[in-house]
Structure 1
Amino acid sequence: MSKKQILLINDMAGYGKVATAAMLPILSYFGHPTYNLPTALVSNTLDYGKFNILDTTDYIQGVFPVWKALGFRFDAIATGFIVSERQASIVSRYCLEQAETGTTIFVDPIMGDEGKLYNGVTPATIKSMRAMLSVAHLCYPNYTEACYLTNCTYFPDGVSLDEAYSLLDHLRKIGAKSALITSIPVDGKPAVVGYNHMDDTYFRLGYDEIPVHFPGTGDIFSAILIGHLLDDKPLTVATQKAMDGVYELILRNKDNADKNRGIPLEQYLNIL
């Protein structure tokens, strides 16, 4: 099986297995040549409460012309945390250009969770993420992010299946071809719901929650999902494998003393 070249456009944490630091080892383990372009350099995971961030937008603006001159291209691009509207404009324009040559664009619109936006996320950030969704072949916000992106009401107790599918349709109206919504309670049970534009089908996959919090689990989900999709697995199969992988990693690490650093992936890659 020929492996696909993928570019990760996401932040890079110096301390903690989140974002690029979580995704790169997983996709590399899958055998896909994996490259990275940091949207920000972050001292550590934000869960520690104190951190330092360097915005790399000027660097990114200088990178794309060099790559174009050298003829670099990728089979897929996966975007995550975007720092600003200006950065979103530069990145989305590059993704659109690459998509026109056959590159698949995956978008994780990282903004918040549990009904709240992360520290520093503003209305401008939401607008930026909508710009990213407009070029996505597949997007996968969590329930909170899906509500903010679509201006729909967030219900802490969740939604019905029809309401969940309607939320997927709102994401598609922004421009995403296929879409998932993660961590969404559907009829009282946590689930991932999805729409696959390849066969015009909707689906729901339920799961059991483990009541502990690790930063980076969304990035792990993203990497496993993309790894299987690049190996030509169907969207429902890839989604279930990503859910199973995250569950197993959390289960094996639920008693870790310092959860703020994320899950120590390297010793568990073989289970993915």
Structure 2
Amino acid sequence: MQKNGKGKQVLLITDVAGYSKVALSAMLPVLTHLGYDLYNLPTALVSNNFAYGEYAFLDTTDYMRDTLRIWQHLGFHFDAVSTGFMTSAEQASLVRAFCQAQRAAGALIFTDPIMGDEGSLYQGLPEETVGFLRELIPVSDFLLPNYTEACLLAGIPYSKEPISMDDAKALIAKLRDQGARSVVVTSMQVEGEGSVVCGYDAKADHHFILPYKLIPLSFSGTGDIFSSVFIGRTMAGFPIRESTQSAMDAVYEMILANKDVANKFDGLQIEASLDIIDQTAPKA
């Protein structure tokens, strides 16, 4: 079993679902398997995945405000901070200030602007979500939106048809204009390439495009798994392109391994599939 976390401390800031392998429930087992010391700051407690159509929801902004104040007083520092689902502009403001301070002290900041898919916001999310998640872009070292989220953040119309490679680069350029450094956009359709992940590596100053075979199955939480593997590989020192490919391969193989699971809203059976993460590791 390959472990490469080397005791590095990673803070996960996103929601907790009581039922469904999404958000923290998806990220914790992956990054723990990779050897990282994990900490968490829940942005909300949710009864279950939004895909079920009804859910109970508890906003944790007051708890976050008090926790971050105490952590600042205690001088806690992390090697990396990953941000995900946010409920409000106040939460985003708190997290932005915290990430600025952590980044100034040497932390890497990974931002997954969780808010939508297939051209629209997730059920129940207000339009203002786009604006306050946009405010996190300048404090991010790595921005990890899906195509829908990238379009929303960039203010570019979502296309149901494949876009050109020039348009894909223009989309990333819009995000870079807003302060993004390295960018990885998932779930894209590009003319002549099919389904791809398209990215920009700020350190190497180059774009890359990685095609993948689309599996006609929809599991909740795959984006969280992608982000977790990407974070783990990047923190271990792999280049962004290799980290992205490893994350893509892990998600693909996990979907295949779980294709017969009846309840796909509940997400992938991650704990039973962790060996796949080792099998899809980049070559050193």
Task: Tell me the SS of whatever aligns to 1:54.
Answer: strand
Equivalent of 2:240, from 230, 235, 240?
A: 235
Q: Which amino acid is the alignment partner of residue 154 of structure 1?
A: Y
1:147 touches 1:153 (CA, 8 Å); kept in 2?
A: yes
Q: Which amino acid is the alignment partner of residue 187 of structure 1?
A: E
Q: CA deviation at 1:174?
A: 1.1
Whole-angstrom CA distance in 2 between matches of 1:59 and 1:248? 37
The within-5 A match list for 1:82-231 is 82-188=86-192, 189-231=194-236
Residues 78-100 of structure 1: CA deviation (Å, up to 9, x unaligned): 00001001110111111111111
Q: Which amino acid is the alignment partner of residue 231 of structure 1?
A: A
The answer for the alignment partner of 1:19 in structure 2 is 23
Whole-angstrom CA distance in 2 between matches of 1:88 and 1:124? 11
Which sections of structure 1, spanning at least 5 residues, go unmatched? none
- Asked if 1:71 corresponds to 2:75, the answer is yes
How many residues matched? 272
Q: Which amino acid is the alignment partner of residue 249 of structure 1?
A: M
Q: Which amino acid is the alignment partner of residue 227 of structure 1?
A: G
Among all aligned residue pairs of Structure 1 and Structure 2, give the percentage whose two residues are the same amino acid.
Answer: 48
Which sections of structure 2, spanning at least 5 residues, go unmatched? 278-284
Whole-angstrom CA distance in 1 between matches of 2:73 and 2:120? 42
Equivalent of 1:266, from 251, 266, 271?
A: 271
Whole-angstrom CA distance in 1 between matches of 2:26 and 2:103? 25
Whole-angstrom CA distance in 2 between matches of 1:151 and 1:89? 21
Equivalent of 1:4, from 1, 8, 28?
A: 8
- Runs of 4+ off more than 4 Å: none
Q: CA deviation at 1:236?
A: 0.3
The answer for the alignment partner of 2:280 in structure 1 is none
Coordinate RMSD, CA, aligned: 0.9
1:3 touches 1:230 (CA, 8 Å); kept in 2?
A: no
Q: Which amino acid is the alignment partner of residue 96 of structure 2?
A: S
Residues 174-231 of structure 1: CA deviation (Å, up to 9, x unaligned): 1111101100001150100000110101000000111111110000000011010111
Whole-angstrom CA distance in 1 between matches of 2:95 and 2:146? 21
Equivalent of 1:32, from 19, 26, 36?
A: 36
Q: Which amino acid is the alignment partner of residue 185 of structure 1?
A: Q
Q: Given the two structures, how large is their TM-score scaled by the length of structure 1?
A: 0.98
Q: Given the two structures, how large is their TM-score scaled by the length of structure 2?
A: 0.94
